[in-house]
Structure formats: structure tokens, C-alpha cells
């Protein structure tokens, strides 16, 4: 099975999620549906709802109204985190379009993000289950902690690789892990299966973020929906830059430290860093770490007796798609373990 087949298999269910996303951000305050339409039509991948749907089917569930509501709530929290992140980072472009904070201002972006979180909670209130709600709250808390962790180490290039991976888990993988966890819990899976799918989502999400981090340096504007090098220009320390720094001599380290503290970097500065990254194969290294995490994710699916194992290939194909979606020309992957 390939990802195109997965998309076709879950096309109807994802269509119901899409309708639910649009039906549930209504408000008598016109700004809310106006911005809601703008962000929901912005080309999101809907990876998180898809993970919830697949894991739920894998564990014997059905895409009933409860599942659709939880998938909607997951995507609302994700969308809210992007609205808030764009304000913190002063991001101007996302998915090829001006960000909400650019078009409507930071206040509107923050407030509509808050509204989406409130709508997510209202959706969950239709099916109050203490264990599910606790999982959702824990996932949301971890997501917020990721932003705080990144903020408290902003422009600090002397962090560790484990720090970068921790930020990737909290800011990205935590909600993907939550989607897998909820899919299993809502199907009534046992504790071992729920934990295994949570761990799958954790490794899946870290791999997802690392591929994005690599793309930010070697991807095209068309692939990214924004100009390459955005993380570098915003002073974010992701794994490609950290790998370069850790393998640089003292002179280059001082240059990198200077770049990171400068909020007016030029294309020439970015090109210099890209050349140095290519010398130490920083992007190859990052993609290798991503593949290691995805291999761990897929290995977690082995040995578990799912009630509907026929859906396992869908989860595996989705995992393969995430790491295969970016393969720069002339780059051969290197494992982080070598």
C-alpha cells in the first residue's frame, strides 16, 4: 500500500472531518468565521486526524460522530498552536499565504487561536470520558511546554541534540502521539496497545519534524510554502544547524553565534551557512535521524495483536510517506547511529 491508497481509503472519513472543521468554528462575531475560513482553506495536511482515524480502525473502532469530533478537536488545537507560534516568531508567510497575524494583526491571531481551543473543549464535552480527557489535556500541556522550552532557549546554539529532539517531541510529536493514543482509547484498546500507539506517534512526529527541519534548509519555496532558511533567519536552533555547529572549528562557531544573534540576516549569510552544512552533511545527518525514529515507530507495530491488523499497512505507508516526501538531489542518507 502507498500513501495515495491510504488517502483514498480514508477519503470519506477525512471529508467528514473537513466538514466538521468548518461547521464548528461558527460565531456571531464575524472575525472568527472569516479567519476560520482563511486558515482551514490554507492547505493543511490533516495528518493528525488521519492518524487518529487509522489507529481507531486498527483497534476495531468505527468513524462515528464521536471519532469525528475528537479528530476535529485535535486539528483545532494544532491550528491554534500555529496561530500562536506565528505571533511569537513574527512569521509572515505560511503554506504560501500571508499569516493571520500579517493580515489581521497579532491580537486577532492570538484570540482566534484561543477560540479554537475553546471550541475543541466544547467538542470534547459531548463525550466526557475521564481517561480520554486526561490524555487530551496532557497532550495539550506538553504542546505548550514545547513552545516555552523553545522560547527559554531562543538563539542559544550551545544546546544539545537531545534538547532539539525534546522540542520536536513537545511542539510537534506530542499532538501526533495524542492522535494515535486517542484513536486506540476511543476503540477500547487495552493499555499496552494504547501505549504502543502513543510511542509510535511520538517517534512518527519527531521524524516528521526533523524532515521539516531539513527541508527548511534544502527545500524549495514551492515545497515549503515559504522562503527557505526561515528557521535560520528567525534564530531557531534545529538539528541541521546544531550539527554544523558541533562539527565546526572555533572560528566558524563564532560566526554561527553571530548569525544567530542577528535578526537582519541576508541571503548571502544563508548561502554561506548552506555551503558549510553541505561540507559536514548536516541535512543528510538530520534525515538519517528522522529515518531512525521512523524505523523505531514502525517496529512498535510488530508483535501487537490488533483487532483489525488489515489497517496496519495504512499506518506503515503513512510513515513511509513522511520520510520519503523530501529527498534532495545528490544527497545520500547517513544513519545517526554511524
Q: State pLDDT tens for residues 90-123.
A: 888 887 788 999 999 999 999 999 999 999 999 9
In angstroms, the CA 182 to CA 197 distance is: 9
Can you tell me the mean pLDDT for 310-331? 87
115-152 b/e with 16+ CB inside 10 Å = b? bbbebbbebbeeeeeeebeebbeebbebbebbbebbee
pLDDT at res. 336:
44
In angstroms, the CA 255 to CA 260 distance is: 9
Nearest-CA neighbor of 282 among 317, 246, 327, 308? Answer: 246
In angstroms, the CA 292 to CA 336 distance is: 7
Q: Is the pLDDT of residue 49 over 90?
A: yes
Can you tell me the mean pLDDT for 284-295? 97
Q: Any idea of the CA torsion for 233, 80, 185, 51, to the nearest 10 degrees?
A: -50
pLDDT in tens, 143-161: 999 999 999 998 999 999 9
- Domain positions in the chain are 3-324
Residue 57 CB contacts under 8 Å (≥ 6 apart), including other chains:
63, 183, 187, 308, 311, 314
In angstroms, the CA 143 to CA 68 distance is: 22
Residues in the chain: 338
Q: Is the pLDDT of residue 338 over 50?
A: no
Q: Is the pLDDT of residue 332 over 60?
A: no
Name the band, by pLDDT with cuts 50, 70 and 90, for residue 211. Answer: very high
Can you tell me the mean pLDDT for 261-272? 92
What share of the chain has pLDDT > 70, as a percent?
97
CATH 1.10.600.10 fits 3-324, yes or no: yes
User: Model pTM?
Assistant: 0.93
What share of the chain has pLDDT > 90, as a percent?
79
Average pLDDT of the chain? Answer: 92
Q: Is the pLDDT of residue 221 over 60?
A: yes
pLDDT at res. 335:
44
Can you tell me the mean pLDDT for 304-310? 93
Name the band, by pLDDT with cuts 50, 70 and 90, for residue 179. Answer: very high
Name the band, by pLDDT with cuts 50, 70 and 90, for residue 283. Answer: very high
Amino acid at each position: 500500500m502507498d500513501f495515495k491508497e491510504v488517502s483514498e481509503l480514508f477519503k470519506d472519513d477525512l471529508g467528514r472531518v473537513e466538514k466538521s472543521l468548518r461547521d464548528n468554528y461558527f460565531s456571531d462575531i464575524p472575525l472568527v468565521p472569516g479567519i476560520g475560513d482563511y486558515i482551514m482553506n490554507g492547505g493543511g495536511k490533516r495528518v493528525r486526524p488521519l492518524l487518529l482515524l487509522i489507529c481507531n480502525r486498527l483497534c476495531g473502532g468505527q468513524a462515528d460522530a464521536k471519532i469525528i469530533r475528537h479528530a476535529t478537536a485535535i486539528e483545532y488545537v494544532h491550528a491554534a498552536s500555529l496561530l500562536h507560534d506565528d505571533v511569537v516568531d513574527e512569521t509572515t508567510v505560511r503554506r504560501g499565504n500571508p499569516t493571520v497575524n500579517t493580515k489581521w494583526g497579532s491580537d486577532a491571531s492570538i484570540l482566534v487561536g484561543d477560540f479554537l481551543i475553546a471550541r475543541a473543549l466544547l467538542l470534547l464535552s459531548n463525550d466526557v470520558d475521564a481517561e480520554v480527557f486526561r490524555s487530551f489535556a496532557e497532550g495539550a500541556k506538553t504542546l505548550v511546554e514545547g513552545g516555552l522550552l523553545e522560547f527559554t532557549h531562543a538563539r542559544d546554539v550551545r544546546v544539545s541534540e537531545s534538547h532539539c529532539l525534546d522540542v520536536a517531541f513537545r511542539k510537534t510529536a506530542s499532538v501526533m502521539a495524542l492522535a494515535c493514543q486517542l484513536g486506540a482509547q476511543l476503540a477500547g484498546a487495552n493499555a499496552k496497545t494504547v501505549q504502543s500507539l502513543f510511542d509510535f506517534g511520538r517517534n512518527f512526529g519527531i521524524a516528521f519534524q526533523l524532515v521539516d527541519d531539513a527541508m527548511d534548509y534544502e527545500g524549495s519555496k514551492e515545497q515549503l510554502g515559504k522562503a527557505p532558511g526561515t528557521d535560520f533567519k528567525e534564530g531557531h536552533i534545529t538539528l541541521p544547524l546544531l550539527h554544523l555547529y558541533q562539527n565546526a572549528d572555533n572560528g566558524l562557531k563564532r560566526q554561527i553565534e553571530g548569525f544567530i544573534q542577528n535578526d537582519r540576516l541576508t541571503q548571502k549569510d544563508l548561502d554561506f551557512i548552506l555551503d558549510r552544512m553541505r561540507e559536514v552533511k548536516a541535512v543528510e545527518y538530520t534525515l538519517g535521524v528522522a529515518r531512525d525514529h521512523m524505523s523505531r515507530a514502525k517496529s512498535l507495530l510488530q508483535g501487537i495483536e490488533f483487532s483489525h491488523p488489515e489497517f496496519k499497512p495504512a499506518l506503515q505507508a503513512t510513515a513511509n510517506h513522511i520520510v520519503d516526501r523530501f529527498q534532495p538531489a545528490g544527497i545520500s542518507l547517513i544513519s545517526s547511529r554511524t
